Amino acid sequence: MTVVTRADLTLRDYSWSALANHDNPHLTHFPDNAELNRTEGYEVLSFINRFLAVIRRGAGGDWTKDDVRKIEHGVRIHPDNIRGQANVRKWICDNWIRL
């Protein structure tokens, strides 16, 4: 399976300075209940790659640019009261048609 990279993201206003915030960009597999920072590029990229691994495993195919765009858009617009990564993933799945 192909991995989504920074160049595949359509939004360009992410923070990529995780080390300045005492965050480790190489530690990207957070538990599902961990809050997703929608403006931190490393977290969004990791979230998208894990999301695609799950949805494409069942579909038997590779991701498309449209899949990446939809997930990235969903990460950005999901309601503020939805915090954990599992909840964000569920919200995106529930709203996939509208994204």
pLDDT averaged over 10-residue windows placed end to end, the chain, 99 residues: 86 79 53 82 91 73 86 95 92 94
Classify residue 7: in a domain, yes or no: no
In this prediction, residue 31 carries a pLDDT of: 63
Q: CB count, 10 Å around CB of 70? A: 19
| Residue 25 belongs to some domain of the structure | no
Angle at 30 between CA 71 and CA 70, to 5 degrees: 0
- Containing structural domain, residue 44: 35-99
Which parts of the chain fold into alpha helices (H)?
Answer: 41-59, 65-77, 85-94
Structural domain count of the chain: 1
Examine residue 18 and state whether it is found in any structural domain, yes or no. Answer: no
In a domain, 82, yes or no: yes
In a domain, 10, yes or no: no
CB atoms within 10 A of CB 50: 15
Is 93 a member of any domain?
yes
The reply to whether 78 falls in a domain is yes
Any domain includes 39: yes
What's the pLDDT at 34?
83
